[in-house]
Amino acid sequence: MTSKTVTIGSKVGLHARPASVFAQAVAECGVAVMLTDAEGKTVNAASILSVLSMGIGYGDRVTLSSDDENAPQALASLAQLLASELDDEKPTAAL
């Protein structure tokens, strides 16, 4: 098993948009990834509802893990994503 621990960089934590961006990236990476919080709760990282249910906040530490042979590269990319601000998109004015 390969694992990578990361500190959440999004100011709003893994809520709404950041959780959606992350779960979609997991689904697209082609590797089965589990997400574990500081209390030891583990969920499928590709499930937006499961990720949201964890209530992960800014600065929280989480661990990504996988048994897949391509896990090291995938987990490194996903960890980098989690460490960044995923809620940067500014709303555009309606026309």
Tell me the catalytic residues.
15
CA distance 56 to 73: 23
d(CA 12, CA 74): 24
- Cα dihedral 39→78→88→84 (10° resolution): 70
Contact 93, 47 (CB under 8 A): no
